[in-house]
C-alpha cells in the first residue's frame, strides 16, 4: 500500500499515514508486469512477400465484380439491406453455386426453420447435397460445426440472432454482436473458411450496432432497391481486397435473383426519343462501368406557404443547391415552386457529374420545354453557374454512342476528348449556355 499524498509505503492498509498524517490516503499499488514480445517479430516491409489472395467464384459475375474478383478464402463479408430485399435469397443462391463446384457450404439460420429454407431452395432451384443446413444461434455450436465440416463457405443469417452464453446479455445487443463478429472473424482466419454475415439495418438504412460490425469485417455490401421494383443493386462500401466503387445489378424474378450483366437501357424510360418536358439523360460511372440513367423532374406552383422539395435517387441537398443556382444565375423563379426529382429505376446517384442533368430537367419542367431528342448531358455545376469537368469522359461517350445517342453535352474543359464516332460533342462553360443548347426553342 502507498500513500497518495506523500508516497509513504506500508505493507498493509493504514487509516492514517505516519509520514504526512493524511487520513484514508492509502491505496493498493500494482506492480508493473514486464510484457515479453511473443509471436513473429517485426520485419521491414521490403522483406514481406506480396502474395495474391486465394479467391474462388461465387457463381454470380456481378457478385465477383463487387468483391474485386471473387470470394477471398478466410474473409468475412457483411451483407446488409432492408427486410425482404433479397439478402437471404442471394446468399442461398451463392451457396448453391459454390457447392456445385464440389466444395462444402454451411448455411446457418437463426431466424427461419429448416423447412422454410428447404421450401425457398426448391423455389430457387438451389437444392444440393453439398449445402449443409444448421438451425442454431449458439456461437459455440456454430464454431464447432465449422471446425468439423471445414466448409469453403459459411453463411450466418443473421449475426444479430447469434449469441454467446458467457456474456449474459441478450442476443442483438452491441456487446453480443461485437464479440460474436470478432470470434467469427478469428475463426475465418484460422480455418480459411469464407464467412458471409447477414446484418439487420435500422430505420435510417444503416447496419444495426453503431458501425461495430463494419469495422470488424473485411468487406461490407449493401443490397439496395425498392420492394415494388424488380431491380436490385449490390453496392460495396468497404473492401479490404478490392475497390469499393463497383456495383452489381440484379433482377428479382420467380426463380430468385438474376444478374444483369449489360444494364443498357435499364434506367431509361423513354430511351431518349419522346419529347417529354422534365427529363434528361446522364451517363453515370458506377465503379468501372458507365450506366445511362434518366433524371425526371416535376416543377409546379406550390399550394402551401413553403414550397416542397422531394428527391429519390439523388442527393436532396444537391437538388436544393441547384435550384438556387438556377434562380440566381439563370433567372428561373423556383422559390414559389414545388420540386420533385427522381432517378428512374430506383438507382442512387451520388457523383457530381449528374448536376447538369438535374438542372436541365428542372429547367425543362419549369419552362414546359422538352430536351432535344437523343441527347445526354453531364457535368458538375458550381455556385457561380459554371460547368466543371468530370472524370471518365471517354467511357461515358462510348456508352452513349453505343445506345444510339447522337448529341452529347459536356463541360468545355473536358475537350478535346476522343470521339466514339457518329456523335456530336458540344462543350459548354456555363449552365445558361447548356440550357440554351439542349432545350427545344
The order of strands in the sheet holding 407-411 is 309-312, 337-343, 289-301, 279-286, 375-377, 407-411, 424-428
Sign of dihedral through CA atoms 418, 420, 421, 423?
Answer: negative
Judged by DSSP in three states, 426 sits in: strand
| Secondary structure element (H or E) that encloses residue 401, with its range | helix 393-402
> DSSP state, 371?
B
Burial class (CB in 10 A: 0-12, 13-18, 19+), 405: buried
Task: Kindly report the number of other CB atoms within 10 A of residue 201's CB atom.
Answer: 17
Judged by DSSP in three states, 266 sits in: coil
Q: Which residues have CB under 8 Å from 68's CB, separation 6+?
A: 239, 241, 242, 243, 246
CB 364 within 8 A of CB 370: yes
Considering the domain delimited by 279-438, tell me its CATH architecture: 2-Layer Sandwich (3.30)
CB 85 within 8 A of CB 227: yes
d(CA 406, CA 397) in angstroms, rounded, equals: 10
Q: Which residues have CB under 8 Å from 126's CB, separation 6+?
A: 92, 93, 95, 96, 256
User: Helix 139-149 and helix 174-191: axis angle, to 10°?
Assistant: 10
The pLDDT, as a whole number, for residue 431 is 97
> DSSP state, 109?
E
The pLDDT, as a whole number, for residue 268 is 81
Annotation: CATH topology of 55-259: Rossmann fold (3.40.50)
d(CA 375, CA 200) in angstroms, rounded, equals: 41
| Secondary structure element (H or E) that encloses residue 295, with its range | strand 289-301
C-alpha neighbours within 13 Å on the C-beta side of residue 127: 11
The pLDDT, as a whole number, for residue 4 is 76
For the chain, what is the mean pLDDT? 88
**Chunked mean pLDDT (size 10), the chain, 441 residues:** 78 83 78 62 81 87 93 95 90 95 93 93 90 95 95 94 88 88 95 94 63 88 82 90 86 89 74 76 87 94 90 95 96 95 88 96 96 94 96 91 92 86 90 94 68
* pTM (two decimals): 0.78
d(CA 185, CA 58) in angstroms, rounded, equals: 20
What SS3 string covers 23-56? ECCEECCCCCCCCCCCCCCCCCHHHCCCCCCCEE
Distances (CA, A) of 406 to 373, 396, 409, 420, 421: 9, 13, 10, 10, 9
The pLDDT, as a whole number, for residue 204 is 62
Q: How confident is the model over 222-274, as pLDDT tens digits?
A: 998 877 778 898 989 899 998 887 889 899 888 899 988 777 677 887 654 55
CB 407 within 8 A of CB 273: no
d(CA 325, CA 431) in angstroms, rounded, equals: 9
* Strand ranges in 169-215 using DSSP code E only, listed in sequence order: 194-199
- DSSP string covering 311-346, please? EESS-HHHHHHHHHHIIIII----TTEEEEEEEGGG
Domains 55-259 and 279-438 equal at CATH topology level: no
d(CA 417, CA 409) in angstroms, rounded, equals: 12
The pLDDT, as a whole number, for residue 239 is 93
d(CA 285, CA 164) in angstroms, rounded, equals: 43
The pLDDT, as a whole number, for residue 50 is 67
Domain-wise residue ranges, the chain: 1-31, 55-259, 279-438
Closest CA to 342 of 247, 242, 226: 226
Amino acid at each position: 500500500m502507498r500513500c497518495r499524498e506523500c508516497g509513504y509505503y506500508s505493507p498493509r492498509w493504514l487509516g492514517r499515514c505516519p509520514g504526512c498524517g493524511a487520513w484514508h490516503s492509502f491505496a493498493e499499488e500494482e506492480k508493473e508486469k514486464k510484457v515479453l514480445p511473443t509471436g513473429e517479430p517485426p520485419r521491414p516491409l521490403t522483406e514481406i512477400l506480396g502474395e495474391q489472395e486465394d479467391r474462388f467464384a461465387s457463381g454470380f459475375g456481378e457478385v465477383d465484380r463487387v468483391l474485386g474478383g471473387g470470394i477471398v478464402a478466410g474473409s468475412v463479408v457483411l451483407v446488409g439491406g432492408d427486410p425482404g430485399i433479397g439478402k437471404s435469397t442471394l446468399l442461398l443462391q451463392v451457396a448453391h453455386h459454390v457447392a456445385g463446384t464440389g466444395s462444402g457450404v454451411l448455411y446457418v439460420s437463426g431466424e427461419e426453420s429448416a423447412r422454410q429454407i428447404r421450401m425457398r431452395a426448391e423455389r430457387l432451384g438451389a437444392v444440393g447435397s453439398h449445402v449443409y443446413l444448421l438451425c442454431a444461434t449458439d456461437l459455440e455450436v456454430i464454431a464447432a460445426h465449422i471446425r468439423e465440416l471445414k466448409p469453403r463457405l459459411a453463411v450466418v443469417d443473421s449475426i444479430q440472432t447469434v449469441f454467446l452464453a458467457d456474456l449474459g446479455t441478450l442476443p442483438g445487443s452491441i456487446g453480443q454482436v461485437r464479440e460474436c463478429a470478432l470470434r467469427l472473424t478469428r475463426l475465418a482466419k484460422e480455418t480459411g473458411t469464407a464467412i458471409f454475415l447477414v446484418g439487420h439495418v435500422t430505420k435510417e438504412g444503416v447496419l444495426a450496432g453503431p458501425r461495430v460490425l463494419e469495422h470488424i469485417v473485411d468487406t461490407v455490401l449493401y443490397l439496395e432497391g425498392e420492394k415494388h421494383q424488380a431491380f436490385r443493386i449490390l453496392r460495396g462500401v468497404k473492401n479490404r481486397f478490392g475497390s469499393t466503387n463497383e456495383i452489381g445489378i440484379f433482377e428479382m424474378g420467380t426463380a430468385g435473383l438474376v444478374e444483369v450483366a449489360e444494364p443498357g437501357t435499364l434506367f431509361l424510360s423513354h430511351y431518349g426519343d419522346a419529347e417529354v418536358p422534365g427529363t434528361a439523360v446522364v451517363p453515370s460511372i458506377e465503379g468501372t462501368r458507365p450506366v445511362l440513367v434518366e433524371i425526371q423532374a416535376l416543377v409546379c406552383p406550390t399550394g402551401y406557404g413553403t414550397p416542397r422539395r422531394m428527391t429519390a435517387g439523388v442527393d436532396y441537398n444537391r437538388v436544393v443547391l441547384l435550384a438556387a443556382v438556377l434562380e440566381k444565375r439563370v433567372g428561373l423563379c423556383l422559390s414559389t415552386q414545388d420540386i420533385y426529382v427522381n432517378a428512374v429505376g430506383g438507382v442512387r446517384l451520388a457523383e457530381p457529374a449528374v448536376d447538369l442533368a438535374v438542372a436541365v430537367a428542372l429547367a425543362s419542367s419549369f419552362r414546359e420545354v422538352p430536351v432535344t431528342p437523343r441527347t445526354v448531358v453531364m457535368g458538375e455545376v458550381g455556385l457561380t453557374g459554371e460547368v466543371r469537368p468530370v472524370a471518365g469522359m471517354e467511357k461515358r461517350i462510348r456508352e452513349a454512342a453505343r445506345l444510339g445517342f447522337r448529341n452529347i453535352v459536356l463541360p468545355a474543359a473536358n475537350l478535346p476528348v476522343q470521339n466514339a464516332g457518329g456523335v456530336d460533342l458540344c462543350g459548354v462553360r456555363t449552365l445558361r449556355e447548356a440550357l440554351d443548347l439542349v432545350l427545344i426553342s
